[in-house]
């Protein structure tokens, strides 16, 4: 396992062998382990505000580039992103870093994975702290069938991302434009659902993602500097988006794998935080928190940050970090 010290003196970067791939982990601090799992289009860097604060509070913070992203390996086959492989990634990182148990923090697709860990890796989970994505009951039909139905009415990114190569042809040549557009639309600017006003197809031609979202204002923004944005643009400019998109393309396999297992209520301690204008909450339908109370009896509380959007850990870092540290203090009391 190769390690080096980054320009941020307190963060060490590790290439961790896991099965037939490598995962990149940014590690900060010593103490009880906290593993941070990002979503699309994220990187370990999405937790840059939380890493030093967790370390200063006495925790060992481990922020991953998830499979398919950044400096981690990116298999081209979508089947490599199913739940068997993504759970094995987490377990492999724990083993390589000599961690018996951890609190897992998830955002977006990282939250989807983290919700499944108490069932798949019960002995390794001390607790969960989830961002943006409440736990809800699984779809009664195959996800791709649901995506196709929704796309018959309006543009749906979930359907647009399904066919390999389609989204890449639009997004890979212009990563800066795509990232700025998506970051802005999903943020507290609250413009993401503008895409639902557009059809998936126009005169037989598929609409592109950048055709259905509003143009963003120029950087910097209050929550994202030019330097921070450049890190994302450079990484995705180097890797392209296929690895991240493959998480979407594995959704049917994940649905099948979870459906074959007994979905037990989550009893371990759970904290939850989200922005009040996060479109994920709107897309999940009415009363997602009522479902979560039923499905997550270990829930210690759900905090909603007024005016924040989907990237709540970057938009409101102090509030998220404070809530996270309060939760960790209870778990490790």
Positions annotated as catalytic residues are 108, 310
Interior CA angle at 44 toward 193 and 226, to 5°?
Answer: 65
Q: What is the DSSP string of 102-116?
A: EEEEEETHHHHHHHH
24 near 70, Cβ under 8 Å?
yes
Which backbone phi and psi does 130 adopt, to 5 degrees?
A: -110, 145
First to last CA, the chain: 33
Q: What is the DSSP string of 79-98?
A: GGGSHHHHHHHHHHHHHHTT
Beta bridge partners of 201: 206
The region that residue 58 occupies, defined by phi over 0 for left and psi between -120 and 50 for alpha, beta otherwise, is left
Taking the C-alpha atoms of residue 17 and residue 21, their distance in angstroms, rounded to an integer, is 6
Using DSSP, state whether 24 is helix, strand or coil.
strand
113 near 40, Cβ under 8 Å?
no
């Amino acid at each position: 396992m190769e390690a080096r010290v980054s320009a941020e003196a307190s963060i060490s970067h590790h290439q961790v062998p896991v099965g037939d791939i490598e995962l990149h982990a940014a590690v900060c601090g010593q103490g009880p382990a906290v593993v941070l799992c990002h979503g699309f289009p994220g990187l370990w860097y999405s937790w840059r505000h939380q890493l030093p604060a967790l370390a200063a509070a006495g925790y060992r913070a481990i922020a991953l580039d998830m499979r398919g992203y950044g400096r981690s390996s990116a298999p081209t086959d979508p089947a490599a992103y199913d739940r068997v492989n993504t759970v094995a990634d987490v377990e492999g990182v724990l083993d390589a870093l000599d961690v018996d148990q951890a609190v897992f923090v998830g955002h977006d697709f990282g939250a989807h994975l983290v919700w499944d860990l108490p069932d798949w890796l019960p002995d390794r989970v001390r607790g969960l702290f989830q961002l943006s994505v409440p736990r809800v009951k699984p779809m009664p039909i195959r996800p791709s069938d649901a995506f196709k139905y929704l796309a018959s009415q309006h543009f749906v990114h979930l359907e647009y991302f399904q066919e390999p190569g389609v989204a890449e042809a639009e997004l890979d040549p212009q990563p800066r434009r795509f990232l700025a557009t998506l970051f802005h639309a999903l943020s507290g600017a609250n413009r993401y659902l503008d895409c639902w006003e557009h059809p998936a197809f126009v005169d037989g031609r598929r609409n592109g993602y950048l055709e259905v979202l509003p143009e963003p204002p120029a950087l910097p923004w209050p929550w994202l500097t030019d330097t921070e944005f450049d890190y994302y643009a450079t990484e995705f400019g180097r890797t392209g988006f296929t690895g991240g998109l493959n998480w979407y393309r594995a959704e049917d396999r994940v649905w099948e794998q979870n459906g074959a297992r007994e979905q037990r209520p989550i009893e371990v301690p759970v904290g939850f935080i989200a922005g009040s204008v996060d479109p994920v909450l709107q897309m999940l339908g009415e009363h997602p928190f009522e479902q979560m109370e039923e499905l997550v009896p270990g829930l210690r509380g759900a905090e909603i940050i007024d005016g924040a959007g989907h990237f709540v850990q970057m938009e409101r870092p102090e509030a998220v970090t404070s809530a996270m540290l309060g939760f960790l203090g209870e778990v490790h009391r």
